[in-house]
Amino acid sequence: MSATFENLRRLYKNYGYSRYKMGKFEEYDFYTKNKQSLISQGVLTFTDVNGKLMALKPDVTLSIIKHIREIEGLTQKFFYDEKVYRISKNDNAFKEITQIGIEAAGYVNDYVICEVLELALKSLEIMAHGRDYVLDVSDLGILKNFIPEDNSHEILNLIAAKNIDELKKFPDVNKNLIELVKLKPDIENLEADLKNITGCKIESEKFSDIINNLKSFGRNINIDFSTVNDMNYYNGIIFKGYISGIPECVLSGGQYDILIQRMGYKNSRAIGFAVYADLLNKIGTQENNYDADVLIIYDENISVSKITACVQKYINQNLSVCVQKIIPDNFKYRELVKLNA
Amino acid sequence: MLNIAFPKGRLGERVRELFSKAGYKFEGLENPERKLIFYNAQNDMRCFRVKPFDVSVYVERGAADIGVAGRDILLERDPDVYELMDLKTGLCKMAVAALNDFRDDPEKVLRVATEFPEIAKKYYAGLGRDIDIIYLRGSVEIAPVLGLSDVIVDIVETGSTLKANNLKIVSVISELSARLIANKSAYKFKGEIINQIMKGLSQVS
């Protein structure tokens, strides 16, 4: 697992992203001011020694963005590897989550968007360890034209569930929205298909241009307009990554120009993504099947030097060794060695 | 291999027939007895029978790639899954029901007995009505009769249970039916076979 993290960090460094190391806490006031921009609803708080209300970070992006400098033409590129604290939907309790990700903020053009998408794909490749992986890409800029103002929350939920049967029941849902959600995932005729459905030439061209630059990733890129995310936070291109064998999305990100502008950077745009590294544990690995390769059980009368020599023999073979007087309960080992005097 | 979660009980029987008509038969599923897992070697599939309420859990967590769940359970649990198809079977309604002579007094907090607290909360929040939820695990119809609640939020199929207990439908919250659901990740990697199943089911449902 740590090798995977190291490879991710190296990938981001190679593309000129610098590590952003931050403290664990943030003043709670910061989150109340930016409540609308927070992905997680709950914030874990405590009072520090000065009586100030503090929070354990539920999110990394906001903390990075608040420190950027707005310089015309400059793209500020950061990556992070942090723990955040959020309410888990499954058991409605706070959970510590490891988040690794990147942010590119300030001057963002098509090139920067492509670079971030490419890094998302390469991150998936690193995490997949030879398994299949796929990056779903959607464009909220195109999608939002088709979402009626009334019931927008409910309609977005139905889109995310590809629930065509229920979408059809809404009288103000345009049939083009349904076509968009049903769009074929392959990118061969993307521009023409999109133009036919949406009627909007400029947006379709722009989206297709960006996607075309990533053609070399072939079927690892999936156009999927059922990919939606919080519209208070994201606009433009958004994406989610999946790895075969992991039941949830392991990578999520997109453009968040609205958020960065709301924080006072009027001329900036931003794009980034986060990897949910904890989910990688859901892929069973061989190495986790045993507590140790070799379990050595020794007799009371045996000399220390003999035990040490035996341990060294296996360590030199690159095996893990556990020395015990008795066999521990529920201990799994490949080989049992008994040392008798 | 494609893993499919079927609900136990009456709905499960209908779903089995539907899959069978669409060409997907599972060995021994007509007489399951105590067995829980059934195979279709030809199409490299296996299905297993779980409690209807749990189907969405198996699918959301990826133990099943696809499954069949009632819309009531999807509304209640709100799982992060694809709801791919209305199978148009197991038709019924989620409704508010009360005693025949019930009069809703808007000055009072409404006492709602239900097996579906989330659906009830969401429905009354939409109306801006203050309610007191009484969560029961079955035989909900008895609650208004004994004065435990003012109304119930429950599944109504034919209405005969309501009638037998002097209850009537006050309003319908949602039409319900069985849905084919899929794990989002599994759909990315096993989409071809899932789409093929959907095609088969659409011809018989």
Show me where the domains of chain B are located.
2-90+177-204, 92-175
Q: Which DSSP state fits B64?
A: S
A242·B85 Cβ contact <8 A: no
Set of chain A residues whose Cβ sits within 8 Å of the Cβ of B179: 165
By Cβ distance, the residue of B82, B186, B189 closest to A161 is: B82
Q: Chain B interface, mutation test: which of A151, A153, A165, most B Cβ atoms within 10 Å?
A: A165
Set of chain B residues whose Cβ sits within 8 Å of the Cβ of A282: 62
- Given this structure, which CATH class describes domain B92-175? alpha beta
Set of chain A residues whose Cβ sits within 8 Å of the Cβ of B189: 132, 134, 242, 244
Map out the domains of chain A as residue ranges.
Answer: 1-132+244-286, 134-229, 290-339
CB atoms within 10 A of CB B22: 18
SS3 content of chain B, % helix, strand, coil (to 5): 35, 30, 35
By Cβ distance, the residue of A162, A242, A244 closest to B82 is: A162
pLDDT in tens, A8-44: 999 999 999 999 988 888 888 888 777 766 666 678 8
Q: Which DSSP state fits A160?
A: H
By Cβ distance, the residue of B82, B85, B183 closest to A247 is: B183
Q: B83 touching A, CB under 8 A? A: yes
Q: Chain A interface, mutation test: which of B2, B73, B83, most A Cβ atoms within 10 Å?
A: B83
Whether the Cβ atoms of residue A64 and residue A95 lie closer than 8 Å to each other: no
| Confidence label for A149 from pLDDT (cuts 50, 70 and 90) | confident
Share of chain A above pLDDT 70, in %: 96
**Nearest residue on chain A to B81, judged by CA atoms?**
A161
Across A161-165, A194-198, A237-241, least confident range: A194-198
**Nearest residue on chain B to A227, judged by CA atoms?**
B184
**Nearest residue on chain B to A243, judged by CA atoms?**
B185
Looking at residue A290, its pLDDT comes to 87
- CA distances to A35, A185, A198, A218 from A208, rounded to whole Å, are 34, 13, 13, 14
| Confidence label for A116 from pLDDT (cuts 50, 70 and 90) | very high
By Cβ distance, the residue of A132, A249, A282 closest to B189 is: A132
A244·B62 Cβ contact <8 A: no
CB atoms within 10 A of CB A88: 12
Whether the Cβ atoms of residue A219 and residue A181 lie closer than 8 Å to each other: no
Whether the Cβ atoms of residue B133 and residue B124 lie closer than 8 Å to each other: no
Q: What is the pLDDT along chain B (205 residues), one digit of tens a residue?
A: 999 999 999 899 999 999 999 999 999 888 878 888 999 999 999 999 999 999 999 999 999 999 999 999 999 999 999 999 999 999 999 999 999 999 988 889 999 999 999 999 999 999 999 999 999 999 999 999 999 999 999 999 999 999 999 999 999 999 999 999 999 999 999 999 999 999 999 999 8
**How far, in whole angstroms, is CA A11 from its chain's centroid?**
15
Which residues, numbered 153 to 182 in chain B, qualify as contacts with chain A under a Cβ-Cβ cut-off of 8 Å?
179
Residue A285 has pLDDT above 60, yes or no: no
Looking at residue B120, its pLDDT comes to 97
**Nearest residue on chain A to B58, judged by CA atoms?**
A247
Q: Which DSSP state fits A169?
A: T
How close B184 comes to chain A (CA, Å)?
7
pLDDT in tens, A299-330: 888 899 999 999 999 999 989 999 999 999 99
Question: Architecture of domain A1-132+244-286 in CATH?
Answer: 2-Layer Sandwich (3.30)
The residue among B86, B84, B106, B99 whose CA lies nearest residue B145 is: B99
Looking at residue A246, its pLDDT comes to 93
A242·B80 Cβ contact <8 A: no
Can you name the CATH fold of B2-90+177-204? D-Maltodextrin-Binding Protein; domain 2 (3.40.190)
Tokens of A41: 């609803």
Q: Chain B interface, mutation test: which of A154, A222, A240, A248, most B Cβ atoms within 10 Å?
A: A248
Across A86-95, A224-233, A325-334, B93-102, least confident range: A86-95
The stretch A176-192 carries a mean pLDDT of 83
A165·B61 Cβ contact <8 A: no
ipTM: 0.86
Sheet with A44-47, edge to edge strand ranges: A25-27, A53-56, A44-47
The stretch A255-274 carries a mean pLDDT of 92
Looking at residue A165, its pLDDT comes to 92
On average, the pLDDT of chain A sits at 88
Dihedral class, residue B80 (left if φ above 0, else alpha if ψ from -120 to 50, else beta): beta
B185·A247 Cβ contact <8 A: yes
A247·B60 Cβ contact <8 A: yes
Looking at residue A238, its pLDDT comes to 96
How close A162 comes to chain B (CA, Å)?
6
- Catalogue the long-range contacts made by A97-100 (C-beta closer than 8 Å, 24 or more residues apart): A97/A276, A97/A278, A98/A276, A98/A277, A98/A278, A99/A60, A99/A274, A99/A275, A99/A276, A99/A277, A100/A5, A100/A8, A100/A9, A100/A274, A100/A275, A100/A277
Set of chain A residues whose Cβ sits within 8 Å of the Cβ of B61: 247
B83·A162 Cβ contact <8 A: yes
**Nearest residue on chain B to A89, judged by CA atoms?**
B79
Give the H/E segment covering residue B190.
none
Can you name the CATH fold of A290-339? Rossmann fold (3.40.50)
Q: B60 touching A, CB under 8 A? A: yes
**Nearest residue on chain A to B77, judged by CA atoms?**
A90
Q: B82 touching A, CB under 8 A? A: yes
Set of chain B residues whose Cβ sits within 8 Å of the Cβ of A249: 184-185
Tokens of A298: 């020794």
The stretch A203-215 carries a mean pLDDT of 88
Parallel/antiparallel/unpaired status of strands A251-255 and A235-243 = antiparallel
Set of chain A residues whose Cβ sits within 8 Å of the Cβ of B186: 247
